[in-house]
Structures are given as C-alpha cells and as structure tokens.
Amino acid sequence: MRKSDKLPDIVDQETRSRMMSGIRGVNTKPELAIRKALHRQGFRFRLYARDVPGRPDLLLPKYRAAIFVHGCFWHGHDCSLFRMPRTRTQFWQAKIDRNRNRDVEVSVQLADLGWRQLSIWECAFRGKAQIGLDETVVRTIQWIRSDLAISEIRSEIL
C-alpha cells in the first residue's frame, strides 16, 4: 500500500475525538525532559507565566528568555513528523493556521517587550532525524547564554 492510500481509522469517530481531546497542552514529555535537564544544570525558571504573552513553557527572567516546546503536528511544523489529517481537513487546516498565526503574533509581542525567544520542536526528540535530548539541551543552554534574540531547535533533516 502506498503512503498516499487512505487507511481506515482503527477506532470509531467518537473514540478518536476523545483521544485527540485528551492530548495535553502543558507538562508534555518533551517539556518535562527539557525542564529536568535545565534544572539539573542550575537554571531556574517560571512555568506558563500568565503575565507574559503566549504563556511560554519556560521563562527565564534572568536571561530575558522565553522558551516554547512545540508539537510539530499542532503548530504545522515543516518536518517529517507533520502530516495533515485526511479526514476533516478543513477543520484541521484552520486550527493549525490559527496556531501558526498566534505564534507569529506572540513572537512580535515578546520582541516588543524585550524577551528573547527559543522554539524547541518535537522533531528534535522524535523521528529518524532527531538530534536527541542531550544535544537539544546543549543547544538550549548555548542559546540561553548567547545574545541571540530568536532561535529554534529542530531535527537535522526536514
């Protein structure tokens, strides 16, 4: 069977809906891994700061740094982990477009307030082209200590 062939879902629509709605937006496995590793290295941060645009996953006020850990699917990342669903395509396209637009708006707001920004993508941890947790943490620490205003960490190959 070719990738382009539509595979039937193995669960009914109600079950799939329940499964998708149960996906967490906070305290995800990648977020927890990054938090634990940074904390072990002596970095202290706030979580989901409500008084900062976009409620960054990690906020390091000492460095004026906001870190977002993005899921490749939910933010429509241009990598091998993202694939547009074949059912309810209009719904998903609109949802992902809203997320992308919000990401841009938040980035502008943060820059206006003087916050530096790092996006860590899920594909840095998952998939064939992943760089792995250790390398992701090394790059994150390098960015925190740098003067770069905006950066991202992602898989090596698109």
Whether 18 is covered by a domain: the verdict is no
Classify residue 11: in a domain, yes or no. Answer: no
Residue range(s) defining the domain that contains residue 98: 25-153
Q: How many domains does the chain have?
A: 1
- Residue 33 belongs to a domain: yes
Domain assignment present for residue 7? The answer is no
Query: Contact, 40 vs 89, CB < 8 A?
Result: no
Give domain status of residue 3, yes or no.
Answer: no
Q: Which amino acid is at 34?
A: I
Tell me, what's the pLDDT at 20? 60
pLDDT in tens, 106-148: 999 999 999 999 999 999 988 888 999 999 999 999 999 999 9
pLDDT digits (tens, 9 = 90+) for 61-108: 999 999 999 999 989 998 988 888 888 899 999 999 999 999 999 999
Which of residues 9 and 91 earns the better pLDDT score?
91
Contact 91, 113 (CB under 8 A): no
The reply to whether 8 falls in a domain is no
Domain-located, residue 10: no
DSSP 75-135: TT-SSTT----SSSHHHHHHHHHHHHHHHHHHHHHHHHTT-EEEEEEGGGTSSTT---HHH
pTM, to two decimals: 0.83
The number of angstroms, rounded, from the C-alpha of 23 to the middle of its chain's C-alpha atoms is 14
CATH of the domain at 87: 3.40.960.10
In a domain, 105, yes or no: yes
